[in-house]
């Protein structure tokens, strides 16, 4: 991870990309276990963690808050949790809905691609500025 004010948002996007990748992997695991008796759906929490971290900074300005997050490397990692552990979707106590998982997976792929494009664009702009 780069430690510079010029890369504050890129560093944040890097954490978001990591969380998105973890969520894609978790959803894939849910799909793979759709027929496993007793399996409970898992998901990844990142947006709530990010909002809590932003709210906990002493800064009211978003730029300053984001800059302060770059030095809390472990605090912005996505966390896997069991989604509705008491809910049973089927008689075998599995709570994975293949249609929902497929939709979530497609949405997460789009999110990852959009963030990846955004980071690439930021590096391209930075490259243009440093060459002039």
pLDDT digits (tens, 9 = 90+) for 22-55: 999 999 999 999 999 999 999 999 999 999 888 8
Residue 85, domain extent: 5-131
Count of CB atoms situated within 10 Å of the CB of 12:
19
> CA-to-CA distance for 2 and 18, rounded, in angstroms?
15
Q: Is 86 exposed, middle or buried (0-12, 13-18, 19+ CB in 10 A)?
A: exposed
The predicted-structure confidence for 7-21, as pLDDT tens digits, reads as follows: 788 888 989 999 999
SS3 110: helix
Answer for the pair 9, 122: CB distance below 8 angstroms, yes or no.
yes
Q: How many domains does the chain have?
A: 1
Answer for the pair 78, 44: CB distance below 8 angstroms, yes or no.
yes
- Give the pLDDT confidence score for residue 60 in this predicted structure: 83
pLDDT at residue 113 is higher than 90: yes
């Amino acid at each position: 991870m780069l430690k510079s004010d010029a890369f504050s948002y890129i560093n944040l996007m890097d954490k978001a990309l990591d969380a998105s990748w973890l969520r894609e992997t978790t959803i894939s695991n849910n799909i793979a276990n759709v027929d496993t008796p007793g399996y409970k759906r898992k998901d990844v929490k990142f947006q709530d963690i990010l909002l809590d971290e932003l709210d906990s900074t002493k800064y009211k300005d978003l730029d300053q808050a984001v800059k302060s997050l770059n030095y809390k490397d472990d605090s912005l990692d996505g966390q896997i949790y069991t989604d509705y552990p008491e809910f049973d979707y089927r008689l075998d106590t599995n709570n994975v809905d293949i249609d929902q998982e497929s939709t979530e997976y497609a949405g997460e792929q789009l999110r990852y691609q959009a963030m990846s494009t955004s980071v690439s664009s930021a590096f391209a702009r930075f490259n243009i500025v440093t060459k002039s």
